[in-house]
Chain A
Amino acid sequence: MTLVKQVGNEDLKEEINFECETGNYHTFCPISCVAWLYQKIEDSFFLVIGTKTCGYFLQNALGVMIFAEPRYAMAELEEGDISAQLSDYEELKRLCLQVKRDRNPSVIFWIGTCTTEIIKMDLEGIAPKLEVEINLPIVVARANGLDYAFTQGEDTVLAALAQRPNSKQSKNIELKTTSDENSIEHLPLILFGSIPDPVVNQLTLELKKQGIHVSGWLPSKRYTDLPLINEGNYVCGVNPYLSRTATTLMRRRKCKLIGAPFPIGPDGTRAWLEKICMVFGVEPKGLQKREDEVWEKLKYYISLIDGKSVFFMGDNLLEISLARFLIKSGMIVFEIGIPYMDKRYQGAELQLLQKTCKEKNIPIPIIIEKPDNYNQVDRIRDMRPDLVITGMAHANPLEARGINTKWSVEFTFAQIHGFTNAIDVLELVTRPLRRNQKLEKVGSQRYTDRR
């Protein structure tokens, strides 16, 4: 069953082809978001309410992190919980009190899983009552594999955070310094998406150079510093997988969403800044020069990938933005697999992809939603791309068949946003190519007899 839909755009003649396959693909479970979110939100504790299967995934996928006294744990469901012989409320209360006693967090996140979904555990109902009883905020996010893929877990958590009413204690970010003559008067702007603190500072400064002040980030470094979000505020996303958060901010908090491409790659960063400037009526300054400088720095890496082909199997929703950046860098993209495609939230990014392809005079790659890994491997065998961006399940087998791969998950853990980090993206992309160049003298490329 192939569903073909097309997005029209008057300015750009060629249309993007979207296809949808079977959804038989490999990706991480969305509960993996606790791995980076607990590090981002320093005073949080994440309680994943699920089974051994979830626990074993976190333990294995997140490897050594588990030993550094992580601020997350499993509430492991036992047979008594499944058959409702035990009271969910009492059990959760017991565990949360223990967490409160041992770790004293400012907030506990409950991560709902497939199992809580199927047995219909009323987490959203229990949380407000328990919150009062134990005097600790509890935020519920349903990051389960029934509905979501990998990075969408962060989306569910941020959407849940966005729904929290403004807390009284949250100090509304330092007032704008009037001394800064550069800055202009504008409505508050809140950016959403979890990125490492250095990158937060970099992007904030890029906007400051344009005279735009960032009133706050969702999430903030600490739960107690969540930004005030009021009706009429502007919001803008930094990651392509945050459509629920965007929707929540628009519908529940009555914010205005700035639909921009995402600040990945120098082209994306510039387009992102320009769009925000445009919304606030600011004439962007020096962006062309800034972008050119970054491209200049990327020259060596671009020389390695120029004209080479790449295939995205799709598992983390960053695919469109990365493909767009790589096309701009001279690569040819055969296929963009993606778990889920929100054409409205990613609208501006899709347009930039179209524009980039037109500029480079290459056909727009096909976008495959819910891909089928088996079929994809078949296509990879036929096309023999120079690089396949894929999950760990396929990376070693593909390498053994002489196909260069890059592990896709690294893009979610590396710093890839803004002008400064564009080089890191290409560093990742070119690593297999650079490595294999050096290994040319050892053995052949193929390390298996099987197809």
Chain B
Amino acid sequence: MKLAYWMYAGPAHIGTLRIASSFKNVHAIMHAPLGDDYFNVMRSMLERKRDFTAVTASVVDRHVLARGSQEKVVNNISRKDKEEKPDLVVLTPTCTSSILQEDLQNFVNRASIETQADVLLADVNHYRVNEMQAADRTLEQIVQFYIKKAKKKKELDTTKTLEPSVNIIGSFNLAFHNQHDIAELKRLMSDLNIKINSIIPEGASVQELKNLPKAWFNIVPYREIGLLTAEYLKDEFDMPFIDTTPMGVVETANCIRKIQYILNQNNLDVNFEKYIDIQTRFVSQSAWFSRSIDCQNLTGKKAIVFGDSTHAVAMTKILTREMGIHVVWAGTYCKYDKSWFQKEVGDLCDEIVITDDHNLIGDLIAKVEPAVIFGTQMERHVAKRLNIPCGVISAPVHIQNFPLSYRPFLGYEGANQIADLIYNSFTLGMEDHLLEIFGGHDTKEVLSAGLSIDSKDSQIEWNLESQAELVKIPGFIRGKIKRNTEKFAQEQKMETITLEVMYAAKEAAS
């Protein structure tokens, strides 16, 4: 047993449901007790989905415990088949059903005799894999199933498209800024004159899976979900895939070069260097931003990074290589991906932390006292308690991380967004720090109704030197300093503010 208040990755069935409900016209039936269908709530709330989530439960209750599910699961499958006419029904085991050890495969076999829909049993073990691993496996399983089916029916067409084309494997619901990322990837592909063959699974129909081999290559933007599918397609059809996440200008360029390599291999003479150069220097602002004076001030500032492996790695690379920020430690909760993580960022940070224990992460943050944190919602709350600014870069996330406006993390626009995120986190931190130095947060007494003392009513005058000094103080806290000094002067019954009074006020405040 493990004492846990919070977890980074959800249970396996959530992963399966995320994949199933991302596809068009696929229905998932959970073999689960009442109340386990909160996935529908998450999808409907976080993603603000307009349509009913195609997930129902075949309820496990006392009767099922006593007598087994018997006809119940089969009936539920055929009922959904009639009601919703899905292309595919995915029977999803949960932690409860996996201990019951009922022969769910048998139910699936029996049900699929009667149903119009295909029926699959999600192949995931609840006690061994988490949400991401389960999602990865389920996607592979569904793709495999339809490739095999097409092969059997001799419908599989592996001739490549005339023009270069790509499959994007990695579009799903309840993922971090995913919709925006996919839009950005589509734009990137169209810039490079590459046709999109298929984007799976979000919005895709299972019927189009048999066309996957027609693409020239695959892109897997996120490491957690999609790699198994890409590897399967490579083994089966010798399709090359790119697993470089185009996040940050350097990695985006790497990703584009890999695309170029693949196209060149296919006897297509393309050179994207010019495109990369123009995008980097002129379209994306983030490379220029790194050169600008603002970013100079960030040099050597201490940061820590934590999240899923894709985002934590990409973020660490951006912070160190693109902004000159000192990453004290970088970490991930994807424990199963430890060696890759170490390989990628081993020499970009002082230390690597691999854990899914949020208490440990909290303690480590407190110990290091970084100037900024880039993490999940959990780190954001730790940061609040420690008064450290935090940017959220990875799931698990809240509803506010499903923004309505365009916020990709990938590609050149993504690089802009990330630069903003980093810079805003730091300036907020800096602002806070300066406030602290120049007299604290709280104006203890309200001097007047307005935010500043009206100079006409006020008896207090600023002499020339003090006025000059006041002007030197950064704009965003000048008002605060002015108020504090005036308040101090008033308390001391002084009528003119001199430099001495200013410093005395500052001293009194600290």
Contacts and interface: CB of A to CB of B under 8 A. Distances in A.
B5 A400 contact: no
Contacts of A79: 127-128
Q: Nearest 4 A-B pairs (CB), nearest first?
A: A29-B35, A145-B33, A393-B40, A400-B50
A391 B42 CA distance: 12
21 contacts: A26-B41, A28-B35, A51-B126, A52-B130, A53-B96, A53-B126, A55-B4, A55-B7, A66-B6, A75-B3, A94-B1, A95-B1, A99-B3, A115-B96, A146-B62, A146-B96, A147-B61, A147-B62, A374-B83, A392-B45, A397-B44
Interface in A59-87: 59-61, 63-64, 66-67, 70, 73-79, 81-82, 86
A24 interface: yes
B52 A56 contact: no
Nearest to A99: B3
Contacts of B38: 28-29, 57, 60-61
Interface string B42-85: 10110011111100110111100100000000001000000100
Contacts of A250: none
Given A29-B38, A55-B7, A146 B2 contact: no
Interface of A: 23-31, 49, 51-53, 55-57, 59-61, 63-64, 66-67, 70, 73-79, 81-82, 86, 91-92, 94-95, 98-99, 114-115, 117-119, 144-150, 374, 377, 391-397, 400, 447-448, 450
B3 A73 contact: yes
Given A23-B59, A56-B11, A393-B37, A115 B1 contact: no
A333 to B, nearest CB: 24
Contact of A53 (B40, B50, B95): B95
A79 B126 CA distance: 9
Interface of B: 1-7, 10-11, 13-14, 32-38, 40-42, 44-45, 48-53, 56-57, 59-62, 65, 76, 83, 94-96, 99-100, 126-128, 130, 378, 381, 398
A63 B65 CA distance: 31
A63 B49 contact: no
A391 B3 CA distance: 30
Contact of B3 (A59, A98, A374): A98
Contacts of B34: 23, 25, 27, 29, 145-146, 148-149
A360 B212 CA distance: 64
Contacts of A117: 65
Given A29-B36, A53-B13, A70-B5, A114 B57 contact: no
Contact of B10 (A52, A64, A94, A448): A52
Contacts of A76: 1-4
A144 B33 contact: yes
A163 to B, nearest CB: 21
Nearest to B100: A118
A66 B3 CA distance: 14
B81 to A, nearest CB: 13
B60 to A, nearest CB: 7
A82 B127 contact: yes
B33 A397 contact: no
Given A146-B61, A395-B44, A78 B99 contact: no
A57 B35 contact: yes
Contacts of A86: 1
A118 B4 contact: no
Contacts of B3: 73-76, 95, 98-99
A394 B7 contact: no
B99 A56 contact: no
Given A59-B7, A118-B100, 18 more contacts: A23-B61, A24-B57, A29-B34, A51-B11, A52-B95, A52-B130, A55-B4, A56-B11, A61-B38, A74-B4, A118-B65, A145-B32, A146-B33, A377-B52, A392-B41, A393-B41, A394-B52, A450-B51
B11 A53 contact: yes
Main secondary structure on chain A at its contact with chain B? helix
Nearest to B7: A55
A416 to B, nearest CB: 22
A134 to B, nearest CB: 15
Contact of A26 (B13, B37, B50): B37
B44 A114 contact: no
A120 to B, nearest CB: 10
Contacts of B10: 52, 56
Most buried by A among B14, B36, B100: B36
Nearest to B381: A67
Contact of A393 (B4, B13, B53, B95): B53
Nearest to A395: B44
A99 B5 CA distance: 12
Nearest to A375: B83
Given A56-B11, A114-B96, A91 B1 contact: yes
Most buried by B among A91, A92, A99, A392: A392
A148 B53 CA distance: 24
A56 to B, nearest CB: 4
A391 B36 CA distance: 14
Given A57-B35, A118-B100, A395-B44, A78 B128 contact: no
Contacts of B76: 24
A118 B51 contact: no
A48 B5 CA distance: 10
B44 A78 contact: no
A118 to B, nearest CB: 5
Contacts of A59: 6-7
A73 B48 CA distance: 29
A62 to B, nearest CB: 11
Contact of B7 (A31, A56, A95, A119): A56
A66 B41 contact: no
Given A53-B11, A61-B38, A448-B51, A74 B5 contact: yes
A396 B60 contact: no
A57 B96 CA distance: 14
Contacts of B57: 24
B99 A82 contact: yes
Contact of B56 (A52, A374, A395): A374
Contact of B60 (A49, A52, A63, A146): A146
A396 B1 contact: no
A24 B32 CA distance: 11
Nearest to B99: A118
Most buried by A among B11, B35, B38, B76: B35
A113 to B, nearest CB: 9
